[in-house]
Structure 1
Amino acid sequence: MKQLDVIIVGGGPIGIACGLEAKKKGLSYVILEKGPIVNSLFHYPVNMQFFSSSEKLEIDGIPFISKEAKPKRNEALEYYRRIVTSNQLNIHLFEKVEDVEKTEDGFTVLSDKETYSCSNVIIATGFYDLPNRLDVPGEDLPKVSHYYNDPHFYASQKLAVVGASNSAIDAALECWRKGSEVSLIIRGPEVGQRVKYWVRPDIINRIEEGSIKAYFNATVREIGQDEILIDTPEGAVSLENDFVLALTGYRPNFAFLKKLGIVLSDDKKRLPQYNPETMETNVKGLYLAGVICGGMETHKWFIENSRIHAKIIMNAILHESPETVEA
């Protein structure tokens, strides 16, 4: 079994950035990705438009040219795919990491296809795989989804969208425009403040004109085959319903991090322990990169401010000065 310098778990933008940096530094590496290239981005809604401009999504200084100032999902897929292929990155797709074991010489990484030995491991898995559940009766019915893809599917249907952030608001607007009868269920008193600035006025106007019915300070009590029961300040309300999109956010795989021996904070933030100057966790040789560093603070790290993690980590592995790292 060949000993590698680095194994990178996760083939998203930050995992790719780590692979690029490892290759430039002459380190032996492999990126292990359980799905296609940039798996999380692939599962974004088909019409999704990023909040960030294209230059902020660039990695390794490689230009990202998009038709609009804010690129769309298909453009991002093309950009990151071309980086992987043109740079001939060593990436194994559709290979899921199942365990990482600490050894005297480094780590043994077990996937569903192979066993690897390496000196260092980088966890760059993001947080999109595990949705925040409602934990209500009926949540596991086939009509309920925690992911949204294409508005055409919900045309001429009674759709309940749960959530107040970008994913929920985008889904509500797109589905309404394709002919859905949309009810928006929001736990707080207003549409989320982090909603894209060009989208927020749109949803507020649709709510005020009555095109989309919004229930504020409301929670889901139960989901049935043909209805959804919600609690509102005015009491319980039963809505006729065909489908539910529970778009209430996502969270990192904390069980996996704890299994690796990474210490998490005891508060609600569940922040993993790492040194920001090296990105190394409390486990020697085990590093974190990207949005997973934020624990439950999933709005703290993005591609644009975590792409630097790749250079920080490779410099730490090679014991090079942090001053050589540039954003």
Structure 2
Amino acid sequence: MVSTKVLIIGAGPIGIACALACQKQNLDYIVVEKGALTHSLFNYPLNMKFFSTSEKLEIDNIPFISNEAKPGRNEALEYYRRVVTANNLHIQLFEKVTAVKKQGEHFTVTTTTTEYKTENVIVATGFYDIPKMLNVPGEDLPKVTHYYKEAHPYVLQKNIVVGASNSAVDAALEIWRKGGEVTMVVRGKSIGERVKYWVKPDIENRIEEGSITAYFESEISEIKENEVTIHTPKEKKTLPNDFVIALTGYRPNFEFLRNMGISLSDEKNIPSYNPETMESNVNGIYLAGVICGGTETHKWFIENSRVHAKRIANHIAKKAS
């Protein structure tokens, strides 16, 4: 069994920020990550650009220099890699946490390879791992994906993009520009209000001119090998189809939180925590980053949750003194 003062679950930007904060407080810590470093960012579309400017993505006042005001995925990966390697952060990759159990004043954290004994657990797991499912027949077909990486596989194909958020809009525009046929199926009445301000007019103009077809207030009811059935306000339609890219959003792993004993609100699954210290209702378990927002995954992001790291490290250090 490996002993440590603090165990951080998740090596995304906020998990890295927590490691830096613990290091500054001379707290013994280990970060455990089930995938690659900054696993969620790694799975972002290759050409994705952030809404935030580079300085708002910085952690611990370490400068993030990008070629443009809005950095892209690859620049972010390089920045966070350099932060980790330059500061010799203690991170265990490709090691999934399977259980967190409190035993007296300590926690036993079991992973796929190791068992840890720790006094404090910081959960910084984000929300990108569990997609919101359509729950329709045919969703398990190989042609259906809930993640979008690049346009190339969809060139010269008939593609349906489900959703009207930033990820859906980016995918629709990129696939169309690379030569794929794009139809959008949107549950709401219009393109999402949170879509990046420099992209929103682009997608609205492409829809208005007919380059991209959009069905609003509509939903997919069934997916088949070569076609998709959708329900629109006017009628039921069957469309020829090669691929479905369902970008309807993602959610945190609420069962993981519940199994640790963390209380969640009934309506939005917002976990119970003290906003001054970020400690949950379970003494010694802290929450950092987007996980704090429950289903409101737009509430917390890198630029406004970086402060969680210092609050947590300061509180743990104060308890130990």
TM-score band by shorter chain is over 0.9
Q: Runs in 1 of length 4+ with deviation above 6 angstroms?
A: none
Structure-2 separation of matches of 1:227 and 1:178: 22
| Secondary structure, aligned partner of 2:248 | coil
1:2 CA displacement = 4.1
Query: For the residues of structure 1 that align with 2:204 and 2:133, how far apart are their CA atoms?
Result: 26
Task: Indicate if the aligned counterparts of 2:27 and 2:317 stay in contact, CA closer than 8 A.
Answer: no
Q: Report what 1:316 is aligned to.
A: 315
Q: Which residue of 2 aligns with 1:59?
A: 59
Instruction: Determine the C-alpha separation between the residues in 2 that align with 1:77 and 1:201.
Output: 29
Q: Give SS of 1:15's match.
A: helix
SS in 2 for 1:3: strand
Pairwise CA distance, 1:309: 0.4
Q: In the alignment, residue 250 of structure 1 is paired with which amino acid?
A: Y
Q: What does residue 87 of structure 1 align with? A: 87
- Inter-partner Cα distance in structure 1 for 2:265 and 2:318: 28
How far does the alpha carbon of each residue in 1:240-295 deviate from its partner, in whole angstroms, 9 at most, with x for none? 0000000000000001000000000011x110000001100000000000000000
Partner Cα separation in structure 1 for residue 62 and residue 103 of structure 2? 37
Q: Does 1:201 align with 2:223?
A: no
1:279 aligns to what SS in structure 2?
coil
Q: 2:36 is matched with which residue?
A: 36
Query: SS of the residue aligned with 2:148?
Result: coil
SS at match of 1:56: helix
1:120-144: CA deviations, max 9, x gaps? 0000000000000000000010000
State how far apart, in whole Å, the 2-side matches of 1:235 and 1:226 are.
20
What does residue 299 of structure 1 align with? 298
**TM score, norm. by length of structure 2:** 0.98
Q: Partners in 2 of 1:312 and 1:25 — Cα distance?
A: 11
Equivalent pairs, count: 319
Give the match for residue 213 of structure 1.
213
TM-score, with length taken from structure 1: 0.97
Deviation at 1:318, TM superposition (A): 1.6
The 1-side partners of 2:193 and 2:2 are apart by 50
Residue 12 (str. 1) matches residue 7 (str. 2): no
Counterpart CA distance in 2 for 1:208 and 1:44 is: 28
Q: 2:278 matched to which residue of 1?
A: 279
Q: Which whole-Å CA distance do the structure 1 matches of 2:101 and 2:233 have between them?
A: 50
Does residue 288 (structure 1) correspond to residue 272 (structure 2)? The answer is: no
Query: In the aligned structure 1, how far is the partner of 2:186 from the partner of 2:58?
Result: 34
Q: Which whole-Å deviations, capped at 9, do the CAs of 1:117-171 have from their partners, x for residues lacking one?
A: 0000000000000000000000010000000001011000000000010000000
Report the Cα distance in structure 2 between the residues aligned to 1:319 and 1:87, rounded to whole angstroms.
23
Q: Which residue of 2 is the match for residue 324 of structure 1?
A: none
> Any residues of structure 2 matched to 1:169-248 within 5 Å, and which?
169-248=169-248
Instruction: Please tell me whether the aligned partners of residues 2 and 115 of structure 2 are also in contact (alpha carbons under 8 angstroms).
Output: no
Measured in 1, the distance between the counterparts of 2:30 and 2:153 equals 38
Q: C-alpha separation between the residues in 2 aligned to 1:140 and 1:179?
A: 26
Letter in 2 for 1:260: M
Instruction: Give 1:323's aligned residue.
Output: none
Give 3-state SS (helix, strand or coil) of 2:229's partner: strand
Instruction: State the one-letter code of the partner of 1:3.
Output: S
Tell me the equivalent position of 1:159.
Answer: 159
Asked whether the 8 Å contact 2:166–2:196 carries over to 1, the reply is yes
Aligned residue for 1:137?
137
- Calculate percent identity across the aligned residue pairs: 64
Structure 2 residue identity aligned to 1:282: N
Give the secondary structure class of the aligned counterpart of 2:160. Answer: strand
Q: Over aligned residue pairs, what C-alpha RMSD do you find?
A: 0.7
Distance in 2 separating the partners of 1:74 and 1:63: 16
Q: 2:46, 2:73 within 8 Å by CA — same for their partners in 1? A: yes
Distance 2:128 2:149 in 1: 14
Give the secondary structure class of the aligned counterpart of 1:319: helix
Query: What do residues 184-238 of structure 1 show as CA deviations (whole Å, max 9, x unaligned)?
Result: 0000110000000000000000000000000000011000000010000111011
Which amino acid in 1 is paired with 2:18?
C
CA shift for structure 1 position 3:
2.6
Specify the SS of the correspondent of 1:318.
helix
Structure 2 unmatched ranges of 5 or more = none
Distance (Å, rounded) in 2 between the aligned partners of 1:43 and 1:147: 8
State the distance in 2 between where 1:155 and 1:238 align: 21
SS at match of 2:206: helix
SS of the residue 1:156 aligns to: coil
